Structure 1
Amino acid sequence: MAYRVLSSRVAPSSHRLSRGFLCIFTLSLSVTYLCYSHIFRSDAVTMPSQRFGEPLGAPGSNAGAKRLLHKLHHCTSPRVAPDARPAPSAAPRARDYKAANASGAQRYGNKKLPNALIVGVKKGGTRAVLEFIRIHPDVRAVGTEPHFFDRNYDKGLDWYRGLMPRTIESQITMEKTPSYFVTHEAPRRISSMSRNTKLIVVVRNPVTRAISDYTQTLSKKPDIPSFEELAFKNRSEGEVDTSWNAIRIGMYILHLENWLQYFHLSQIHFVSGERLITDPAGELGRVQDFLGLKRIITDKHFYFNRTKGFPCLKKPESSSQPRCLGKSKGRTHVQIDQEVIEQLRDFYRPFNVKFFEMVGHDFRWD
């Protein structure tokens, strides 16, 4: 009898406790569900806007993620003092770096004015130097020629910077426009951008360079006069026409004197167009040294293409095919009379001697 009385009094209390516990548990689940629903509904659009590979913690780069973490923090965690929260890393992840390099489109970092320029010379091998050096992971370069310091200077430095690829702190930004070397205003304009700019000039036997220049022009304008007609004012007297651009470009010492008014000789590196064909790894090794880069580009990156007559890059990891320069590179030169070649060699010889003395290197063009 006592047992029945006790049970009848305790049971209602136990039921009340169970109902209370269930109520609290259900309410907790509901609040948690509503909180997470709010988070993912509000950030469903903002999260994808974060660009692949942007450095964590960069201004404006992780706004969606920050809001998400902030809301999760308030919904699921107790407050933590600001100085106790770990600072986000500003460095890009290694796998993002490799993926961006493999795709050829780096999407993190900033657009900066170039640290180095390939300023000349036309038909000397500037495209080869650019394509070879840009496989270095610490070099980012513009593929096309911006022609900023000769044709587009009035568009301003902001326009020019906008053409540059994105780079991180450890990378060098480069571009190449070979007509800069013979543009009188280019040295002054580049110096006003930065007096610390490093300059690369690819030089080649001026006679061979002139014939290559003419061959390229002839492929576009087949009705132009012969090489001999353009090269000489008076062929019988051997009077060379220095007003013809194909001849004038090869008078390297005249152009170099203009550059030395604004840059120290130590800021200019000269690449041999001839050795670039016979020893590309050696020439690129010296370019890497000049730019302050680790020698990563070596013999293992090149093979000699006998059909084209110049070196090509071996198959990169991101491609199934070797990489050679375009069809316009390595075209067969127009045949020029040997007497004409000898006359031009005689003409260029004094200019070459002065150039060799100035740069402290004999390129052996005779």
Structure 2
Amino acid sequence: MDALAYQRAADIDAALSAAQQPGAAFIGGGTNLLDLMKGGIAHPLRLIDITRIAALDGIEALPDGGLRIGALVRNSDAANHTLVRTRYPLLSQALLAGASPQLRNMATVGGNLMQRTRCGYFYDTAFAQCNKRAPGSGCAARDGFNRMHAILGASAQCVAVNPSDMSVALAALDATVQVRGPNGARAIPIAQFHRLPGDRPELDTTLAHGELITSVDLPPPAFAEHAHYLKLRDRQSYAFALVSVAAALQLDGRRVRAARIALGGVAHKPWRASLAEQQLIGQTLDAATLRAAAATELAHAQPLGDNAFKVELAQRAIVRAALQAAGGAENFADNAFGGLA
């Protein structure tokens, strides 16, 4: 690791002031940043410790009926908070699907949002070709081993995927990320917080230098009754998603009044399945209807050499997650799949 300075901030203003120095980076739980530093990928010159800022650590109901989760709230605390479990079960399920209990006890909500995309070529500096580490050097994953990589929204510059389970649920719930920086406060809709790679894959988010996440705000609960987070992975714990789905529904009997579906493991950012959502509105919920909507959403997928299976897997996952959200596949018997995922 490189030599660096360390500073503990007493409040938000102190943190923002310290962050204006060149090479400064905020650190909360550090579960991703420290790995990047030890691997020689991140090279901050100064760490600004924000863990003692009380204003960032708390969960409170908002006047409009929504919920505010502070940036320093640990993932395990957020997942098990009464208001999250009862009003936003989709978020609780997603948080509990992430990482391991030890990491959830340390990782923060703000840090979870700031995770770098996961790609073996990015994390291994022995590979010189990585546009995320060294812009303009190329993308080794495109012609390399790319089983875990993107099938949607990728570019010639990068095919890495966002690793966060929490962010997939937040995308489905239309959360808002509150930030403060040298130019004041602003609210960033979660759909605009993470970036697709385009020609700037080194930028994972739309945060400006020196901006600090202060909280995540959730709108008033509207999808608590029918919600399910499905994560498909190589092993049950401590593994990133091959494909994940956050599904939340409003139903009139079996008819879909509103749908929220977001995918993980398929793109550089949580992928809101807007086409599938729109196709489901007003339809009778069954596997055939879901299969058609999922096929529409994945119609423009561009798989690579090792991950073509993700196209079918994502479609099956949408069907399974939505049926589970509705109340279990056993309540909606349908053999349109020839066996559900």
Q: Same fold (TM over 0.5)?
A: no
Q: What range is the shorter-chain TM-score in?
A: under 0.3
Which one has more relative contact order, counting CA pairs under 8 Å at least 6 apart? 2
What TM-score results when the alignment is normalised by the length of structure 1? Answer: 0.23
**Structure whose alpha-carbon radius of gyration is higher:** 1
Higher strand share: 2
